Amino acid sequence: MKKLIVVTLSSLVNEGKKIARLSGNRDLNEKIVKAKMKSLEQYGQLIPAIVVDATDAINQGMEVIDFTTGDVIEKEEAVNYLVLLEGNHRYEAHCELLNKNENYTGEFYIMYALNVEVTIAKMLSEINIATNPWKGGDFVKGAKMNNLQKELPLLDAINDLVNEGYNLSVASKWLTFTANIDKKVMNCAMDNIILPQLENTVGLERGQRLIEAAKEHFTEKNIKSRYLVDWIISKYDTTGDDGKPDFTDKMERFLRSISKEDVDYIKKAKGKTGGDTKENIINQKLTELWGDFEG
């Protein structure tokens, strides 16, 4: 496949080429795929998808997977693959149309990225920011994807939470008791600039333990919202220096001690027009329970 030329997928398939994706790229969204299917049926593909050679991606430390099977592509077989950087949803839509609509005869068009001097990780972030703005979790996946060989326990843990559905801010709060791990930090990590706050693992075990304790009674929705973790952080901030070393043990016991009735009250809390907000109601209840727990 030549640079600066738009080619059809079918011609590349005839040459033995296959399509892959980066394992750390954003997950496919079913709603977006369906919308792309309608667009492809009505108008065809209006602009080509962007690809890079799988060999280049692997040489830059990225994990490449077969688009269809999800199997990891090893270096020796990478020569047969092109990696989609932009156009994943359109390609999935194209494949689904071929499988489900016998009247669909559309082609899929691709071309190489124009600026080969840019790293693939940076290229990916710039393409996605320009076409469909990334959310915090997307930056986390991008940062992880570009630092697969580095020992960054906090990044690994945040990536795990993001994959479970936590937003970046809440994940940062649980694991650092601050919102300092933000898009800027992750964007720097994508450029191989690891800021000090991403290397700091002081609160990592604490956060993981408290999440596990909260899971004993609270729903995932409660734990993934900011209300519970914000309240916990407020209690930590008002704890004296002499009490901070025992804070995790104490909070862990407290979270496990909350009754089902009290958890149900917190889950069902709703703000009132002209009255307390949902956050205030939850905070008041937790503070009341904390007071009883402390005796």
Q: Tens digits of per-residue pLDDT, 17-49? A: 999 999 877 778 899 999 999 999 999 999 999
Confidence (pLDDT) at 131: 54
* 126 — pLDDT class (breaks 50, 70, 90): confident
Task: Enter the tokens of residue 217.
Answer: 């009674």
What are the strands of the beta sheet with 18-22, ordered from one edge?
A: 7-8, 109-112, 49-53, 81-86, 18-22, 64-66
* 295 — pLDDT class (breaks 50, 70, 90): low
* 133 — pLDDT class (breaks 50, 70, 90): low
Query: How far apart (Å, rounded) are the C-alpha atoms in residues 232 and 255?
Result: 10
Q: What percentage of the chain carries pLDDT values higher than 70?
A: 97
- The residue type found at 75 is K
Q: What is the mean pLDDT of the chain?
A: 90
Query: How far apart (Å, rounded) are the C-alpha atoms in residues 70 and 53?
Result: 17
Other C-beta atoms closer than 10 Å to the C-beta of 37 total 21
Q: Is the pTM of this model over 0.75?
A: no
Question: Closest Cα to residue 187, out of 131, 143, 129, 127?
Answer: 143
Could you say which DSSP state residue 72 is in? B
* 247 — pLDDT class (breaks 50, 70, 90): very high
The predicted model gives 253-262 an average pLDDT of: 94
The predicted model gives 89-101 an average pLDDT of: 94
pLDDT of 132 above 70: no
The rounded Cα 114 to chain-centroid distance in angstroms is 27
Other C-beta atoms closer than 10 Å to the C-beta of 291 total 9
Q: Tens digits of per-residue pLDDT, 143-193? A: 888 787 889 999 999 999 999 999 999 999 999 999 999 989 998 888 888
* Dihedral sign of CA atoms 250, 259, 220, 223 in order: negative
Question: Closest Cα to residue 171, out of 161, 156, 183, 163?
Answer: 161
Q: Tens digits of per-residue pLDDT, 46-65? A: 999 999 999 999 998 889 99
| Beta bridge mates, 22 | 64
Contact of 73 with 66, CB cutoff 8 Å: yes
